[in-house]
């Protein structure tokens, strides 16, 4: 309870420096992989939460012992992990358990800066950034350690809220860019799909039109050549003259005419056969 009251009485800069120290210690432990031995039996988040609590409870000695791989430090960490659920579960009569030092630290900074608990790390960096000159002044080091107020409440809230507002604007800009990029990608995909469909229709039309042209070519080449016209006018005139001549002839004359015509045809056929033999 004494440590909880001490943290709650610290100034905003002192709370930010203490939270920064805890976060830096955890980052060092992650880099040196000093917590891997416990990940076989526990979740990483539970291990780190218990380790943060021991950093605030035991101080630098716990960190040094853990860095030296001391068994005592690992035993303390294992015990803290096992007691985490019990320490955060209300009693049988419903009385809530005291807050952990980690929760107290973050809630105190949240109350000083007027922000949500989830934004405490962001606010911590904002305070340290905007008050870097004051923190590095030699005469202020002792005051920070003692938890004195270096800033007026308004000087704490304004940088924090300004930093959070800028972060929110940046998140909105990032979101707008992501939405615009998603819309551009969707339009590009739609255009690509349309192009592919159009290309498919063109190919399909070309494939269906090729057989038609081939059939037309076959039909054009398969058209029969026109047969040579036979001049039947001369034959008809000859038959008509013969018929007119036969009307005024007697039977003997007609028989003689038929016989002469037959001889004439035979002579013509004989001449054709001779010509074929010569050929």
> Closest Cα to residue 200, out of 211, 189, 188, 192?
192
CA distance 199 to 276: 66
CA distance 115 to 16: 13
The pLDDT assigned to 231 comes to 46
- Does a structural domain hold residue 173? no
> Closest Cα to residue 112, out of 149, 84, 74, 142?
149
Distances in whole angstroms, Cα of residue 105 to Cα of each of 5, 10, 162, 168, 225: 10, 10, 22, 24, 107
Please check the confidence at residue 121 and state whether its pLDDT lies above 60: yes
DSSP 137: -
Residue 119 CB-half CA count within 13 A:
19
- Does a structural domain hold residue 6? yes
pLDDT class for 214, splitting at 50, 70, 90? very low
**Per-residue pLDDT tens over the stretch 262-276:** 777 666 555 555 445
- Does a structural domain hold residue 128? yes
Please check the confidence at residue 14 and state whether its pLDDT lies above 60: yes
Distances in whole angstroms, Cα of residue 52 to Cα of each of 45, 55, 58, 102, 228: 11, 5, 10, 7, 113
- Does a structural domain hold residue 222? no
8 A C-beta contact, residue 54 and residue 80:
yes
Domain count, the chain: 1
Block residue for tokens 């955060």: 88
Q: What is the mean pLDDT of the chain?
A: 75
The pLDDT assigned to 233 comes to 45
Question: What's the rounded mean pLDDT across residues 152-173?
Answer: 64
Q: Print the domain residue range for 31.
A: 2-150
> Closest Cα to residue 113, out of 178, 76, 170, 165?
165
> Closest Cα to residue 113, out of 162, 157, 64, 168?
157
**Per-residue pLDDT tens over the stretch 55-69:** 999 989 999 998 898
- Does a structural domain hold residue 225? no
Please check the confidence at residue 278 and state whether its pLDDT lies above 80: no
Angle between helices 101-113 and 12-31 (to 10 degrees): 130
- Does a structural domain hold residue 245? no
- With a CB cutoff of 8 Å and minimum separation 6, the contacts of 11 are 112, 144, 147, 148, 149, 150, 151
- Does a structural domain hold residue 108? yes
- Does a structural domain hold residue 70? yes
Joined tokens for residue 195: 């192009």
């Amino acid at each position: 309870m004494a440590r909880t009251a001490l943290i709650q009485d610290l100034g905003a800069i002192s709370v930010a420096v203490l939270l920064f120290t805890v976060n830096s210690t955890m980052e060092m432990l992650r880099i040196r992989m000093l917590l891997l031995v416990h990940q076989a039996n526990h979740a990483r988040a539970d291990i780190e939460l218990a380790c943060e609590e021991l950093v605030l409870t035991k101080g630098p000695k716990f960190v040094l012992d853990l860095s030296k791989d001391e068994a005592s430090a690992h035993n303390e960490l294992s015990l803290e992990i096992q007691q985490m659920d019990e320490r955060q579960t209300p009693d049988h009569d419903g009385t809530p358990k005291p807050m952990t030092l980690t929760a107290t630290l973050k809630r105190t900074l949240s109350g000083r800066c007027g922000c949500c608990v989830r934004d405490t790390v962001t606010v911590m960096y904002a305070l340290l950034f905007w008050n870097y000159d004051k923190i590095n002044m030699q005469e202020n080091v002792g005051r920070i350690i003692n938890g004195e107020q270096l800033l007026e409440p308004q000087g704490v809230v304004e940088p924090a809220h300004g930093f959070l507002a800028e972060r929110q604007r940046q998140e909105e800009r990032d979101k707008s860019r992501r939405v615009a990029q998603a819309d551009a990608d969707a339009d590009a995909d739609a255009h690509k799909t349309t192009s592919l469909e159009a290309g498919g229709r063109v190919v399909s039309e070309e494939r269906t039109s090729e057989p038609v042209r081939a059939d037309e070519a076959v039909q054009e080449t398969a058209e029969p050549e026109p047969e040579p016209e036979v001049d039947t006018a001369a034959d008809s005139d000859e038959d008509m003259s013969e018929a007119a001549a036969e009307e005024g002839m007697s039977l003997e004359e007609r028989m003689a005419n038929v016989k002469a015509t037959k001889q004439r045809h035979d002579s013509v056929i004989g001449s054709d056969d001779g010509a074929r033999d010569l050929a």
